[in-house]
Amino acid sequence: MKIKETRLDPAKIKRLAIPLEEAFKDFSAEEKAAVEQEVQYLEVLMGLRKNRKALGLTQAELAARSKVPRATVTKIENGQRNATLRTMLSLANAMGKKLQISWV
């Protein structure tokens, strides 16, 4: 799945949005859980991209620092590849960050 950044007007987004409860009203418990898992996954990917950009790093620069191929960084950020924990740790280290995973 490829993540596409949107440049829509926030007012337009708000007008088009519906409450989550309404969107989920016809979903089974399993479907709701699958959506929540996908949301969590996308939050991790967006967090990687957000941190990289906040540091002013290109994907190529992050790749060089982390010794992870640039194509891999691109695919991870776009949701086209699942990263191993070892890869995520390498990326976090290269950005001077710590990777934290919580069981909540």
List the CATH code of the domain at 28-94: 1.10.260.40
pLDDT on residue 75: 97
Percent of all residues in the chain with a pLDDT value above 70, rounded to a whole number: 94
pLDDT tens-place string over residues 28-70 = 999 999 999 999 999 999 999 999 999 999 999 999 999 999 9
Q: Note whether 80 and 1 are within 8 A (CB).
A: yes
**How many CB atoms within 10 Å of residue 4?**
7
Give residue limits of the domains in the chain.
Answer: 28-94
Model confidence band, residue 8 (pLDDT cutoffs 50, 70, 90): confident
Q: Note whether 52 and 59 are within 8 A (CB).
A: yes
pLDDT tens-place string over residues 68-97 = 999 999 999 999 999 999 999 999 999 999
Tokens of 20: 């989550």
